Structure 1
Amino acid sequence: MIQIPDENTNMFIDIRTSLFAMYLFLTGDSSALSNWSYTNNPSIAVLVVLFSLLIVVYLMNLLIGLLNIAIEEDNNRVSYLIQKAEILAEIELFYLLPHQRRWQTWFPEVIHYYADADKTRKEIERLIEKGEWDTKEQEFAEMRKNLLDKLQIKHDPIDNKVILKKLDKLEELEKTYGKTLDKLENLEKSDKEKLEKLEKLEKLLEEIRAK
């Protein structure tokens, strides 16, 4: 007596049960292939080995590695502070009553910020070297000047190294531009001389033909 295959005996006759069989494969359950012997069907054994190597070993480890990279990128103090500031801003905007927003203990007019002097000096020197310290905001000009005086950093916006480097680059560009102009002028002169020679040759040919 031959039994007709159905969803219970062969899970691969329907796309839904076949996907469920693949899920069982991921968990280590290979009962979906119990109706076939591996000795008579070596291709099934090869496919099982390839599935375990490709899906379970390679893709799972790849997913774990990508998750570790994403966690390392976001697991720093800056992202933590940004997220904390966003949560506090949301609370202040949507969850506080009007009289709570007027509390001086929660929202003082002046906030004192503590910063390490050595770290601040290094950061300012880095910004000066990159040319990012002198910005166009005039309202912060006096504050920047006071900060430089407090940290004893000598900085002259006119005598800036970045500006001097840019000026040197401009001078080099001008020199190269002048050289290219000289080359073009020499080429024009040589072209003119060639044209004059050609005109003389044409005149000579015309005279020879006339004779």
Structure 2
Amino acid sequence: MFMDIKTSLFATYLFLIGDSSALSNWTYTENPSIAVLIVLFSLLIVIYLMNLLIGLLSNAIEEDNNRVSYLMQKAEILAEIELFYLLPHQRRWQTWFPEVIHYYADIDKTRGEVQRLIKEGEWDTKEFTEMRNNLLKELKIKHNPIDNEVILEQLKSHEKLLKELCSK
């Protein structure tokens, strides 16, 4: 099989596509049409499967975009109804528009998400500080943002000192 450059290239191609029949004693030089058909079949199947994958992904993205556009349109319609079709005294009804809306959240998922936000540094403690502290207390997560800020400041000051010492 590896005596001729053409058959060795073909054997390498067969190994790449996962076919180990190149190790057999059957020579491809006697039947070049079969070798051409094998190469064409493998290339066409790859192209066909990639097109199929692209089509499936585009359908999935389109469905996701449909859901987002549906929710956006629903929000616009609700805002329009609240602004133009309600009388002023109806807008003040507490049964229709409560001041506080309670949501259900799974505690394990919430704890995991908060820990992920803290780990990635996205847990901003400058806004809604009381609510964030209450949430950390309810989730039993120990986090002191002042310590993190102090540590960062100390690291920066040590880095400056090192640069000054290295430059001397």
| TM-score normalised by L of structure 2 | 0.53
In structure 2, do the counterparts of structure 1 residues 174 and 64 end up closer, same or farther at CA, with 3 Å as the change threshold? farther
Matches within 5 A, 1:141-180: 141-160=129-148, 164=151, 167-168=154-155, 171-172=158-159, 174-176=161-163, 178-179=165-166
1:114 aligns with 2:104: yes
Q: Does 1 or 2 have the higher relative contact order (CA < 8 Å, sep 6+)?
A: 2
Shift in Å, 1:99: 3.6
- Partner residue of 2:74 out of 88, 99, 122: 88
Paired residues for 1:34-53 under 5 Å: none
Amino acid of the residue matched to residue 79 of structure 2?
L
Q: Deviations over 1:117-147 (max 9, x none)?
A: 111111111111122213432xx11111111
AA aligned to 2:158 is: E
- Aligned-pair identity (%): 44
Residues 61/163 of structure 1: CA separation in 2 closer, same or farther (3 Å cut): farther
- TM-score, normalised via structure 1 length: 0.44
**Structure 1 segments unaligned to the other structure (5+ residues):** 1-52, 183-211
* 1:1-211 aligned within 5 A: 58=47, 62-73=50-61, 80=67, 82-95=68-81, 97-99=85-87, 102=91, 104-137=94-127, 140-160=128-148, 164=151, 167-168=154-155, 171-172=158-159, 174-176=161-163, 178-179=165-166, 181-182=167-168
Q: 5+ unaligned residues in a row in structure 2: which ranges? A: 1-42
Q: Counterpart in 2 of 1:5?
A: none
Map Cα deviations across residues 9-38 of structure 1 (whole Å, 9 max, x no partner): xxxxxxxxxxxxxxxxxxxxxxxxxxxxxx
Q: How big is the alpha-carbon RMSD for the aligned residues of Structure 1 and Structure 2?
A: 3.8
Name the count of aligned residue pairs: 122
How many Å apart are 1:110 and its aligned residue? Answer: 1.8
Contact 1:134 1:157 in 2 (8 A): no
Per-residue deviation, 1:114: 0.8
